[in-house]
Amino acid sequence: MHATAADPAEIIDLFPLSRRYRTAILLLTLITVFDSFDLTLVGFLGAAIAKQNHFTYGQLSAIVIAAGAGGILGALAAGELSDRFGRRSAVVLGTAICGLSSLGVLLVPNGAWRTLILLRFFVGVGIAATAAPAMTLAVEYTPRRHRFLLASLPVVGATGGALIATASIAGLIDTLGWRGLAALGFAPALLGLTLCVVAPESPPWLAARGRLEEARNAIARLLNLPVEVIPFPTASRVSAPEHVPFREVFRDRRRALLTLTLWGGILMADSGVYLWGPTMVAVALGTSAATTAKIFMAIALAGIFGKLCFAVLPRIVSRRRVNEIGCFGGAIALGAIVFFHSKEVAGLPALVVLLVLGSVFFDGVIANLAPYTVEIYPTRLAARGYGLGQAGNSAAKLLAPMALAMLTGTSGYVTNTPTAASLGSCFAFLSASILLAGLASLFFPLDPLGSHGY
């Protein structure tokens, strides 16, 4: 059996999981954890930072959305670099940019909101530049029989990062201050270097570039086996030793449009809740930063539970149907906030209860969406296809807080209590965004390619 030539993904599927594979997936997950920690930290600290520095809603919104603006550039650039030069080097570059930008926050003087915007822009560049190659590596490393859960672990780590951010605020803000917490975002840089030392380059990517001997050696290293027992890989049907231009991503317009709509709509809801939600909850319920952080710990835990559910749900129904379940469920929960945000459920604010419930759907579905995006593109375009999705993700992180700030009012300082009308408008907007993503999946169906299927 081992002497027969085969596609790299088929070869990886022949063998049991190795310790090196588990280490690589753990590193990719931890990278995502700390990237998410760094991204969401400012959102959770928003009210406290604004009050300390006398920022307006507009200034705070600019700081929060800067990471989204940087993410568009980072996602598109990293996808191109990853498909051209390899996945690992792109991960190292992205984590380095994110880590150094996080350290720079230590040097920002009080009130320097423009400097914060610049640093947050580069944090966004680094995070998005890491996400595309990291998720592509996770899918291409993982045997097809295990992709349902294991390839989604880095995405689960994203909510874990939000959870760590809330826990850190609740327990460490008095000791480290918000600058000290932000500087912890340097951790991904160290993890990226470790991944480069421990893990090989993606075997499917090497084979798609015609580097078959290197692909065989990478498989042997990933599986911790002698190279002699590894079948000689063959180039896939869609392989191309030469680098194909970025415009190839848009050759199938339906696929590109679906990618942007799914990521844009789902992440509009998700990022709106995580980046601007803490500020809305704090001023709506009159809670402190620490109390708000505890509320969002519950929301983040619900998101982790949702991601685990949505990681295994494709065993029962198709990935496309799982996307639709997450979108429509999230739209219903966020839409209900419009009507019931001032009510109570079993003595708890309905606003909090519905955010926790909604997180299971709008946050959980990303565990399915991420590998789905890689799987609908051929190997030679996989990172750029995922990068296109991350560009939609970053655009959502840019547009959602901007839209919510406009609906709330940008001229007043962040001490005013939002009106019932403004809260209703904000959550109606988030509900409509994820509903649009669900409708796109429903009316423009696209299943994973056979080369990535199960």
Q: How far apart are CA 85 and CA 79, in angstroms?
A: 10
Domains (range + CATH), the chain: 8-229+251-452 (1.20.1250.20)
Nearest to 57 by CA among 403, 442, 439: 403
Q: What is the dihedral of CA 13, 15, 21, 26, to 10 degrees?
A: 70
**DSSP letter string over 54-102?**
T-BHHHHHHHHHHHHHHHHHHHHHHHHHHHHH-HHHHHHHHHHHHHHHH
Nearest to 237 by CA among 3, 2, 9: 9
Q: What contacts 230, CB < 8 A, 6 or more positions away? A: 2, 11, 216, 219, 220, 223
Q: Count the neighbouring beta carbons within 10 Å of the beta carbon of residue 33.
A: 24
* Residue type, position 15, single letter: F
Element (H, E) at 349: strand 348-349
**DSSP conformational letter for 273:** I
Q: Please give the chain's pLDDT, 454 residues, in tens.
A: 444 556 777 888 888 888 999 999 889 888 888 777 766 666 665 656 666 666 666 777 777 777 778 888 888 888 888 888 889 989 999 999 988 888 887 777 776 778 888 888 898 888 888 888 988 888 888 888 787 777 777 887 777 776 777 677 667 766 776 677 777 778 888 999 999 999 999 998 888 888 888 989 999 999 888 988 888 776 554 445 566 787 888 888 999 999 999 999 999 999 888 877 777 787 777 777 778 878 888 898 898 899 989 988 988 888 899 999 999 999 999 999 888 877 877 878 888 999 999 999 999 999 999 889 988 998 888 888 988 998 888 788 778 877 877 776 654 444 444 555 577 788 899 999 999 999 999 998 887 765 433 3
Partner residues linked to 345 by β-bridges? 348
* pLDDT attached to residue 44: 60
Q: Do 230 and 421 contact (CB within 8 A), yes or no?
A: no
Nearest to 339 by CA among 347, 351, 328: 351
Element (H, E) at 354: helix 350-362
Distances (CA, A) of 92 to 82, 194, 335, 377: 11, 9, 40, 23
**DSSP letter string over 190-252?**
HHHHHHHHHSPPPHHHHHHTT-HHHHHHHHHHHHT--GGGSPPB---TT--SSPPPGGGGGSS
Q: What share of the chain is helix, strand, coil (3-state, %, to 5)?
A: 80, 0, 20
Q: What is the dihedral of CA 367, 373, 375, 380, to 10 degrees?
A: -140
* Residue 444 Cα to chain centre, angstroms: 23
Tokens of 17: 């999981």
Q: How far apart are CA 121 and CA 179, in angstroms?
A: 16
